[in-house]
Amino acid sequence: MKVLFVCSEDISLGVASLSAYLKKEKHRVFLAFDPRQFNKSYAENKSLAHFFSRESEILHKVKEISPDLICFSVYTANYQWALILAEKIKKITDAPIVFGGVHPTLAPEEVIKQKAVDIVCVGEGEKPIAELLENLKKGKKEHHIANLWFKDKGKIIKNEVRPLLDLNKLPLPDRDLFLGQLPDSYFRSPAIMTSKGCPFSCTFCSNNSLRKIYQGKGIYVRKRTVGNVMVELLTLKEKYRPHYFIFMDDLFTVDPSWLEEFLPLYRKKINLPFSCFSHFNFLDLKTARLLKKAGCNLVLFGLQSGSPLLRRKILKRPETNEDVLRVAGICREVGLNFSIDHIFNLPSDSKETVFESLNLYNKVRPNIINCYGLMFFPGTEIVDIAVGKGILKKDSYKKINEGKEAVYASLVGKATADDYRRFALLTTLIPLLPQKVVAFVLNKEKRVNFFSDLPISLIIPIKLILYLKVNLGFIFSSVIGNEFFYLKQFFKYKFKSINY
């Protein structure tokens, strides 16, 4: 059977895993990829986005391949794009269309009612999609497959979620599926997952909602064995000759004993720089030394706010400012670069809590501070909090589930005020400025306002400098190189179409 996956913007390790599993089951797997050029947060232009649309190319590919099943990889930010494209694909093929991914998993009621969507995959898709293909192959209309929702004669059939998979029994992700459609940068600095799930219950994160869906279906936080991960790393090293690895686990340092076994082996057999995500309650001096010795170039921490009250009451994060300062000291002691994520426009955020955060970051002195505006995702607890505080209206649930708008909130001054635009530039700049200079600026609101009046786009060169300082300048060059790669692809297809 022929399966066509439709993805956008980035490589999907989920799709790569599905592809490997289905190929093992002797199915033929294809990919239609849309980079969505000029339709991204850092490069958005509606006219250019329309001109460089890959829609006709994808529709041509559907006709050419004539797949038996079409599977969309969907998250909230690309849900409307997926719906529009699925509607057009529906006009040229009778192949069933499946929507899977985080957004359909968290908002299946919204997704299944769409005319262009035949099936929704809730949760992991390897086994259910394989079972679906076998039924299609035999001509069976079987609507009782765990994890899948179907439509049948006007009725919606909702099947239960099956137990979580053993990650060690899955084949290695099929990254070759993306070769030729994605730039070399995705293979020269590949992302890898050694685990799935997070032990925390942050209100803004989909992990908390996903854990509830899988309640009673197995251990939510699952770690691959050291041997299993090493096989993938060695395969990637031999196949693609990477220069850097990015461990994308929600919490790479969740299991210290696993790290004690893995990191010395990584240094011995892989010996390439890498970055990973950690938590201020999951990094001690011993682990920091192991990370540094193994070649860790950057540890990313998701603090989100320097206000202990906001973290505890709004975000449900357990770390204290003392934990933050202690771990920052450990990182400096061993020479480990680290970054902090900050989210602006949180419910109950105020000028006082923002200044509290900035003062803490000036004490912590991370190498990089990544700033974001709050975005609400389906099924997350922070949506309930925002509605309860009157920041969002009750109809926001529907808008969020439909993925029709990025919803931001602020309680500084008027409801339309945006703390990101007011404070993100200064926050990003803190690691570059001397500690005394930052303290001087924060001492007077008038000085802070000076930075608020500067173009927000200055964040880009500032972050370039910060990333260069930690030997990660290739990230910025990759972004530029990627866009040129997609432009070249676009014009190559257009030229070919004209000749035909």
- Helix, strand, coil percentages in the chain from 3-state DSSP, rounded to 5: 50, 15, 35
> Given pLDDT bands bounded at 50, 70 and 90, which one contains residue 66?
very high
- State pLDDT tens for residues 449-471: 999 999 988 999 999 999 999 99
pLDDT reported for residue 394 = 86
User: Dihedral, CA atoms, 469, 472, 475, 480, nearest 10 degrees?
Assistant: 50
Look at the block and give the residue holding tokens 């395969």.
Answer: 235
Q: Which pLDDT value is given to residue 407? A: 44
Structure tokens at 376: 């609400």
CA distance 417 to 407: 13
Q: What is the pLDDT of residue 405?
A: 65
At residue 44, the pLDDT reads 72
377 has pLDDT over 70:
yes
The token pair at 305 is 């706010």
What is residue 483's three-state secondary structure?
Answer: helix
pLDDT at site 412: 33
What's domain 175-373+415-475's architecture? Answer: Alpha-Beta Horseshoe (3.80)
Q: What is the pLDDT of residue 494?
A: 75
User: Cβ contacts of residue 432 below 8 Å, gap of 6+?
Assistant: 462, 465, 466
- How many other CB atoms sit within 10 Å of the CB of residue 434? 9
Question: Given this model, what pLDDT does residue 39 score?
Answer: 81
Q: What is the pLDDT of residue 42?
A: 56
Q: Is 311 helix (H, G, I), strand (E, B) or coil?
A: helix
- Percent of the chain exceeding pLDDT 70 equals 96
Task: Give residue-wise pLDDT tens across range 135-181.
Answer: 999 988 889 999 999 999 889 999 999 999 999 999 999 999 999 99
Domain 2-166 architecture: 3-Layer(aba) Sandwich (3.40)
Using CA atoms, how far apart are residues 79 and 76, in angstroms rounded to an integer? 5
**Span 387-413, mean pLDDT?**
74
How does strand 274-278 pair with strand 245-247?
A: parallel
Report, as an integer, the average pLDDT of 337-360. 95
Banded pLDDT at 416 (limits 50, 70, 90): very low
Q: Which residue has the tokens 């240094």?
A: 267
Q: Which of the four pLDDT bands, split at 50, 70 and 90, describes residue 409? A: very low
Domains 2-166 and 175-373+415-475 share a fold: no
pLDDT band for position 193 (50/70/90)?
very high
The confidence score (pLDDT) of residue 498 equals: 57
Distances (CA, A) of 298 to 136, 275, 466: 47, 5, 12
Q: How far apart are CA 366 and CA 337, in angstroms?
A: 8
Kindly list the distances between the CA atom of residue 109 and the CA atoms of 104, 167, 342, in Å, as whole numbers in the listed order.
8, 28, 32
* 192, 264, 341, 420, 449 from 372: Cα distances, Å: 24, 35, 8, 7, 19
Measured CA to CA, the distance from residue 291 to residue 335 in angstroms comes to 10
Among 48, 19, 18, residue whose Cα is nearest residue 35: 48
CA geometry: angle 395, 397, 398, nearest 5 deg: 70
Q: Which band of pLDDT confidence, cut at 50, 70 and 90, is reported for residue 497?
A: low
Where exactly are the structural domains of the chain? Answer: 2-166, 175-373+415-475, 375-408, 476-500
Structure tokens at 233: 């790393």
Q: DSSP states of 335-394 as a string? A: T--EEEEEEES-TT--HHHHHHHHHHHHHH--SEEEEEE----TT-HHHHHHHHTTSS-T
Closest alpha carbon to 34 in 81, 90, 80, 77: 81
State the burial class of residue 26 (Cβ atoms within 10 Å of its Cβ: 0-12, 13-18, 19+).
Answer: exposed
Q: Are strands 274-278 and 296-304 parallel, antiparallel or unpaired?
A: parallel
Q: pLDDT confidence of 43, banded at 50, 70, 90?
A: low
**Residue ranges of the alpha helices (H) in 165-284?**
185-188, 206-213, 226-240, 256-269
pLDDT at residue 45 in the model: 81
Task: In whole angstroms, give the CA distance from residue 205 to residue 76.
Answer: 13
Quote the CA–CA distance of 141 and 122 in Å, as a whole number: 19
Q: What is the pLDDT of residue 275?
A: 98
Token readout for 395 is 């109809």
Task: Supply the DSSP symbol for 430.
Answer: G
